[in-house]
Structure 1
Amino acid sequence: MPGAPGQARRRGQGWRALTPWLFLLVPLALLITFTYAPIADMVAYSFTDWDGVSPELHYTGGHNYAEIFTRQDLFEVFFVSGYYLAASAVQIVAALYFATILSFKVRFRNFFKGVLFFPSLINGVAIGFVFLYFFQDGGTLDTVLGLFGVHTGHAWLGTPVSANISLAGVSVWRYTGLNFVLFLGAIQSIPGELYEAAELDGASRWQQFRYIIAPGIKPVVTLTVILSVSGSLSVFEVPYIMTGGATGTETFVTQTVKLAFQYNKTGLASAAAVVLLLIVLAVTWVQRRLVPDDRADLV
């Protein structure tokens, strides 16, 4: 049969084309089951008045979304995210500074790497409890300040401004190490010959950072900014543990959790979650347009 080898070859090519999809079948099934299906349910619930318990739910149209944008107490919590956005800028700058310094030969640099990365290994709930005692009246911070003769008598979590600044400071302490590792890995991936050539040309450390490091790690910086902005909009663990949203520290996510589980307004909470998702996607899209991910050619 002259056509048999050709048919066997085509059959083999068909199986080779199908093989990647067979490997992707299980991950795709898990992704759809535990990610996209719940998102679809959340969107469906956002158009109802479901309380999260009753088997009956009634379609309310866009009433939940109208309530979110017309009730000032529901949407104004986004202003609290401004504190965390400022903290994100601080932690990115600090992480980039330490990553740049420790990418060169510095004494005890491995020790400092461990010190910087250690906070990112701690569970968020544990961090909340640790800093709850750190900021309480007469706690660790007041004790340390007292050793230097500073007696503020200030309730660090007692006013909206100081409480939000304190919580934002906790986020800086927690996430600087993670950004530091990302930046350090990106810097160390730059070919060492570029540094050697720059040193032969008499380039200073600042010039090496400006013309070699900064262009070389631009994609990682862009990714870090996107993650930091989205994280600032969806802060939950630390303010929920430390203040429970009191003293003007309630974030959009803590408010959504209260709507769903404390006030039994699952439909309204689902609408709030959808709004947050759309805002994060919009912010990410704008960032990608303003700062395109162009790989710099350093050679």
Structure 2
Amino acid sequence: MTTLRRRFGPWLYLAPALVLLITFTYVPVGNMVWYSFHKWDGLSTTMDPVGWDNYVRVFTDERYWRVFLISLYYFAASFVQIALALYFAVVLSFNVRFRNLFKGILFFPYLLNGVAVGFVFLYLFQPGGTLDTVLGAVGLGEHTRYWLGDPDIANISLAGTSVWRFTGLSFVLFLGAIQSIPGEIYEAAELDGASRWHQFRYIIAPGIRRIISLSFILAISGSLSVFEIPFIMTGGANDTRTFVIQAYETAFQFRQFGLASAMAVVLLAVVLIVTWIQRRLVPDEEVTLS
């Protein structure tokens, strides 16, 4: 009895989590893969097998693969986001006046609902809105633009909104990792005359390497799966339609659930491949600072 308890006891504790994981993650993914090989309108009780036709259409029809290029705006913005988050995390990890206040200010945007953020920035970027008013007040009125109406700058405006919203998440991850580094190491570095830059280069950066790697993985997957910000603010108009918006419209507007499922599978495969490449280029090595 004791042997059986030792062998199966841990699985009994894991069983509820495994059941939820399989039910709400792996089963839906399996169904999505199954749908991707069929033609289905989402309402009919029967599905027509089409083989690989949905995948061929995704890769050959310009409407479906071209929207992947929009992700490059958010991918570039994610590097800005990581740089800002890392900078503020390093600065606020030391003794700075009102640092708790600044921590709250930086993290607050991430707590807001994505729909609320979209509407706030929709008013910010509208013609004659907050941004145009501020530019006019400081004598830069000639630089006002149709921030969401001009295809040349609309994606930059949307990517900037994403930076504002998600910098807080990266900031908290970096700050927690930095604060987990033993304080004795900083004290020893200060006694040796190390500057803040040297402390960052030789202590902080190696110590939080895993978190930086995680942030890049999140940035890659996030830039490929952007949805709510452009959907709320532009609805995908003016060349701002992302791959996820295209898949959403394909499923719920054009009732092509098989094709939309194939798009989702392709997106999942791209994220997994890019993540695997990133892990190969930046392996998760053990870091010891003591």
Q: TM-score, normalised by structure 1?
A: 0.95
Partner of 2:232: 241
Counterpart residue number, 2:114: 124
Aligned mates of 1:78, 1:166 — CA distance in 2: 18
- What's the counterpart of residue 160 of structure 1? 151
Q: How far off its partner does 1:153 sit?
A: 4.1
Give the count of matched residue pairs: 289
Matching of residue 223 in structure 1 with residue 217 in structure 2: no
* Coordinate RMSD, CA, aligned: 0.7
CA deviations on 1:238-277 (whole Å, 9 max, x unpaired) are 0000000000000000000000000000000000000000
Partner of 1:74: 64
Q: Please say if 1:144 is aligned against 2:120.
A: no
Per-residue Cα deviation, 1:261-297 (whole angstroms, up to 9, x for no partner): 0000000000000000000000110011100011211
Matched, 1:260 2:251: yes
Shift in Å, 1:17: 1.8
153-162 or 58-67, larger mean C-alpha shift? 153-162
Check whether the contact 1:218–1:295 (CA below 8 A) recurs between aligned residues.
no
Q: Which residue of 2 aligns with 1:189?
A: 180
Instruction: Return 5+ residue gaps in structure 1 as ranges.
Output: 1-10
**Bigger-Rg structure (1/2):** 1
Q: Which amino acid aligns with 1:293?
A: D
Please tell me whether the aligned partners of residues 135 and 144 of structure 2 are also in contact (alpha carbons under 8 angstroms).
Answer: no
CA contact (8 A) 1:216 1:295 kept: no
Match of 1:63 in 2: 53
2:35–2:261 CA contact under 8 A, matched in 1: yes
- C-alpha distance in 2 between matches for 1:167 and 1:153: 16
CA distance in 1, matches of 2:250, 2:63: 12
Cα distance between partner residues in 2 of 1:29 and 1:117: 33
- Are 1:107 and 2:106 an aligned pair? no
- For 1:250 and 1:94, the matched residues in 2 are separated by 26
* Change beyond 3 A, Cα 1:153–1:97: closer
Question: Identity rate of aligned residues, in percent?
Answer: 64
* Residue in structure 1 matching 2:25, options 11, 19, 35: 35
Find the partner of 1:208 among 181, 187, 199. 199
Residue aligning to 1:271 = 262
Q: Which residue of 2 aligns with 1:94?
A: 84
Q: Which amino acid aligns with 2:13?
A: F
TM-score (structure 2 length as normaliser): 0.98
